[in-house]
Amino acid sequence: MCDNLKNNYHLCEEVGRGRFGTISRCFSPIKNDFFACKTIDKNLLTDPTDRECLQNEAKIMTILSPHPNIVQIHDVYDTDESLTMVMELCEHYTLYDRIIKSNGGFCEGKSASIMKQLLNAIAHCHRFNIVHRDIKPDNILFDSRNRVKLADFGSADWLGEERTMSAGIPPFYGETVEETFEAVIRGNLRFPPRIFRTVSPAAKDLLRKMICRDVSRRFSAEQALRHPWFVSGGDTISMD
């Protein structure tokens, strides 16, 4: 740990661990607040691509901060041995944890609230030509006020495309990996009645427009935010 980091923050308990480093809770006496301290061990980064992603993560988060639905970065400490990012501290449970705990999923009203905040974060990224490339329930956090926070920009880059999920299953289904890839290529989006029987026509319409194979017709994040499903707050509405 570098001296500047030690001088500014008191490291507390470890709250997470990844392939290349750890996340700990830390306290700033100056700001009188707690933060998340993500430290990456550069000696573990043998792949040049991993090293590039590490450098990009700090830069991209700095560009995107502050935004109410993106984890904010406060400080960066870069040495020959490690890179440490001090970020806002979020709740321990991710969206994935909340989905599992809900034991059956969310109602459309709650889903719309979460999706709207997430799309606000994505739209903000796209305004800077930045794509996250790893959007999944595990990387969606919540702050103490229950606001959605998009996290983990380790795979993010300038330009590209991301893939989303809904209803608890991948948007393109196949019995094998090969069949799934074939469905993606064909743009064959299906809504099996057994799984989607309680999903409203408006929600299905939004999904079709967000996962449209034709790029010229596919909704952007900002277009999706104007869809009737969000305007109604996830309430069941007619699409006639």
* Burial call 123-141: b when 16+ CB within 10 Å, e when fewer: bbbbeeebbbeebeeebbb
Contact (Cβ atoms closer than 8 angstroms) between residue 132 and residue 155: yes
Dihedral pair phi/psi, residue 174, rounded to 5°: -155, 155
C-alpha pair distances (Å), 182 with each of 14, 112, 176: 42, 30, 10
Amino acid at 13: E
Alpha carbons 89 and 144: distance in angstroms, whole number: 9
Cis-peptide into 193, omega within 30 deg:
no
Secondary structure element (H or E) that encloses residue 110, with its range:
helix 108-127
Q: Is 138 a catalytic residue?
A: no
* Contact predicate 54/152, CB 8 Å: no
Exactly one of 75, 78, 134, 205 is catalytic; which is it?
134
Grouping H, G, I as helix, E, B as strand and the rest as coil, residue 11 is strand
**C-alpha angle with apex 47: 92 to 178, nearest 5 degrees?**
75
38 is in an annotated binding site: yes
**What spatial distance separates the first Cα and last Cα of the chain, rounded to whole Å?**
60
Annotated binding-site residues read: 38
Residues annotated as catalytic are 134
Annotated binding-site residues for ATP read: 38
